[in-house]
A = this chain, B = another copy of it.
Amino acid sequence: MTEFRYKDAFSANGPEPAARFTGLPKYNFVYGHNDPAQVPTEALAEAAARAIRENGARLAMYHLGDGPQGYRPLRDFVARKLGATRGISCTADDVVLTSGSLQGMDLVNATFLDAGDTAILEDFTYGGAIGKLQRLGVEVIGAPLDSDGIRMDALETILKDLAGRGVTPKFIYTIPTVQNPTGSVMPLARRRQLLALSAEYGVPIIEDECYTDLAWEEGQPPALYALDPSRVVHIGSFSKSLAPALRVGYVVGGWDVLSRVLARKTDAGSPAIEQMVIAEYFGATFDQHVASLKAALRRKLDVMVESLEREFGTSAELFVPKGGIFLWLKLPDHVDVRTFAQSALDQGVAFNPGPEWACDPDAAKSYMRLCFALPAEHMIREGVAELARICFEHTGVPERRGNVQQTS
Measured CB to CB, the residues of A under 8 A from B are 1-21, 23-24, 31-39, 41-42, 44-46, 48-50, 52-53, 56-69, 93-94, 99-100, 102-103, 110-114, 128, 131-132, 168, 170-171, 202-204, 229-231, 233, 239, 242-247, 253-257, 259-260, 262-264, 266-274, 277, 373-374
Task: Kindly report how many copies of this chain are found in the complex they form together.
Answer: 2
Chain B residues with Cβ under 8 A from A254's Cβ?
Answer: 1-4
Bound complex: CA of A99 vs CA of B270, how far in Å? 8
Chain B residues with Cβ under 8 A from A242's Cβ?
Answer: 59
Bound complex: CA of A49 vs CA of B49, how far in Å? 6
Which of B15, B103, B204 contacts A9, CB < 8 Å?
B204
Which of B1, B14, B256, B268 contacts A4, CB < 8 Å?
B256
Bound complex: CA of A33 vs CA of B94, how far in Å? 26
The smallest C-beta distance from A77 to any residue of chain B, in angstroms, reads 17
Assess the B247–A111 pair: CB atoms within 8 A.
Answer: no
Assess the A170–B103 pair: CB atoms within 8 A.
Answer: no
Bound complex: CA of A269 vs CA of B9, how far in Å? 26
Assess the A56–B34 pair: CB atoms within 8 A.
Answer: no
Q: Which residue of B lies closest to A93 (CB)?
A: B1
Assess the B114–A13 pair: CB atoms within 8 A.
Answer: yes
Which of B8, B60, B231, B244 contacts A61, CB < 8 Å?
B244
Assess the A247–B4 pair: CB atoms within 8 A.
Answer: no
In the complex, besides A1-B93, A61-B245, A247-B270, 5 extra interface pairs with C-beta distance below 8 angstroms are: A4-B233, A14-B110, A14-B264, A32-B62, A58-B245
Chain B residues with Cβ under 8 A from A57's Cβ?
Answer: 36-37, 39, 41
Q: Which residue of B lies closest to A204 (CB)?
A: B6
Assess the B267–A102 pair: CB atoms within 8 A.
Answer: yes
Bound complex: CA of A272 vs CA of B45, how far in Å? 14
Bound complex: CA of A12 vs CA of B243, how far in Å? 36
Assess the A267–B100 pair: CB atoms within 8 A.
Answer: yes
Which of B6, B23, B60, B260 contacts A245, CB < 8 Å?
B60
Task: Tell which of A50, A59, A246, A262 has the most Cβ of chain B within 10 Å.
Answer: A59
Chain B residues with Cβ under 8 A from A7's Cβ?
Answer: 256
Chain B residues with Cβ under 8 A from A247's Cβ?
Answer: 99, 267-272
Q: Which residue of B lies closest to A100 (CB)?
A: B268
Assess the B60–A34 pair: CB atoms within 8 A.
Answer: yes
A49-B49, A62-B33 known; A245-B229 Cβ under 8 A = no
Bound complex: CA of A5 vs CA of B266, how far in Å? 26
Assess the B11–A39 pair: CB atoms within 8 A.
Answer: no
Assess the A52–B61 pair: CB atoms within 8 A.
Answer: no
The smallest C-beta distance from A267 to any residue of chain B, in angstroms, reads 6
Chain B residues with Cβ under 8 A from A45's Cβ?
Answer: 48-50, 52-53, 56
Bound complex: CA of A49 vs CA of B102, how far in Å? 27
Bound complex: CA of A110 vs CA of B14, how far in Å? 8
A11-B113, A46-B49 known; A374-B60 Cβ under 8 A = yes
Bound complex: CA of A45 vs CA of B66, how far in Å? 21
Chain B residues with Cβ under 8 A from A8's Cβ?
Answer: 202
Assess the A9–B112 pair: CB atoms within 8 A.
Answer: yes
Assess the A56–B41 pair: CB atoms within 8 A.
Answer: yes
Chain B residues with Cβ under 8 A from A267's Cβ?
Answer: 99-100, 102-103, 247
